[in-house]
Structure 1
Amino acid sequence: MRVFQSPLELKNELRSLDASIGFVPTMGALHNGHISLIKKAKEQNEIVVVSIFVNPTQFLKGEDLDKYPRREQADRRVCELAGVDYLFYPNADDIYGKDEVTVCAPNVRGYILEGTSRPGHFSGVLTVVMKLLNIVNPKNAYFGKKDAQQLNLITLMVKQMFMDVNIVPVDTMRDANGLALSSRNEYLTPIEKEEALKIPLSLKKATNMVMSGIYDVKRIKEEMTNILLPNEISYVAIVSREFEPLEKVIPGNSIVLVEAVVGSTRLLDNIWL
């Protein structure tokens, strides 16, 4: 595995290759969810590139940028064992300059749900993803379905900017109890981890209701909210896969989303129905 810090050096190296490239952008603290992305990339491409970069522009003032888990040596070892060919490990000065050109999130989809409480977050996400895709120039790029709104916006950006890359969604990985894997799970105490299980439990309730023929969004959201309390609930939402609001679940074209705060940790999860 070769490790690069310089964007231009990596770009020139990859440009010289006559091979299909699969790209997995991450913020590090790698877990089995990230490994599933790498495995999918290895199955579908000749070369796999992983980036590890805690992107400062997607964190709002007062958020957890400074304490976000960083495990450089462990992450390098994970990548080696997973068979990654190139690891890109830039710092902020390598990615950003002065008087930056930025990508703005769309006025509607970028400011609903997670974007409501984190205005500007998705502009930071889209800007760094645009930069990373331009550096690596992959055939395929892999993103987890757990961050469904982010995935939708990245796919939209690629389409609207006529970018030559295929965005590949990968199913959410969960622990044995059903909790979606996330680097932020490290913040949870054992008691908070038990409380966090209400999140997948609420999604299971929604799934069971739909399977029993109950499609009314309001009714499903009420049942989910009852399960999630007394945790702070940022939102419970049911939307189409284009993130349009729904009054009735449309099987095969719906996503049920939850954002809740357990202790002081913000957790996201969803189920695609």
Structure 2
Amino acid sequence: MGADRQKSGDADPPASALPPPAATVATDIPAPTVARLATYLHVLRSFSQRGVLVASSGELATAAGVNPAILRKDLSYVAANGVRGVGYDVGRLTARISMTLHTDSIHTVALAGAGQLGRALLAHTGFGRGFRVAAMFDADPALTGTSLEVGGPRIAPLTDIAAVCAEVEPAVEIGVVATADDDARPAFDAFVGAGVRQVLNVTPVALTTEADVVVRQVDLALELQVLTFQASRGSAQAPRNDLKISSRSDVGAPREVKAADGRHGKAMGEETVTA
């Protein structure tokens, strides 16, 4: 790892600290590259917290679990060029990727589900970087009017999603569905009806709609099932690297799927298992 060190900080370097880019940042970036850029950003933040100022492509690639050639190609989309024999400036590269992923500004989030999963998401450090939970909802009447953290939003009933989201300023950009399975569809429909066009679904329920809405599905049970399959192969066998959870390469091109309730609709940006 590079020898240059600095004091760690919680905030990403602001995009305004960057010099004018020598090349234009690409706007049409493949979905797998976007997912890897998010991983690189996580790695860079951990480097920064350890005081690392400069990192080579090999060090970044190893920490991110990718090939250095893939990393360099991915970084070309954000107009980031390292110095041969030296590496990448961690602060500048963090700011460059943050600017590309739009995490250098605050995005408003509404969270449906204040149970254990919702609380875990709220407590996750990732929510503190570029995201503000402005509204929370739950089906439990006992939680109505309470708050999970000092200064946080008061929990409203799931039936109030549309009304509350309409009053949030700035407007809710991302809705998170972390409810019980039976409440997932009503919560999702309410978000869509309120004009929310980006939804993170962490329930096992398939959520689809005819509207132009991007849905990201994160099914923890599915992930565990894949790992169970890998474990069942036995330690004597070398692990397969071709069976993995990956983002669809055709995000943005909706496909027809059938939901658990029998509906057909468009699914965009889903997580899928590829073999």
Q: Rg bigger for which structure?
A: 2
Q: Greater helix percent: which structure?
A: 1
| TM-score using structure 2 length | 0.28
TM-score computed with the length of structure 1 as normaliser = 0.28
Greater relative CO (CA pairs within 8 A, separation 6+): 1
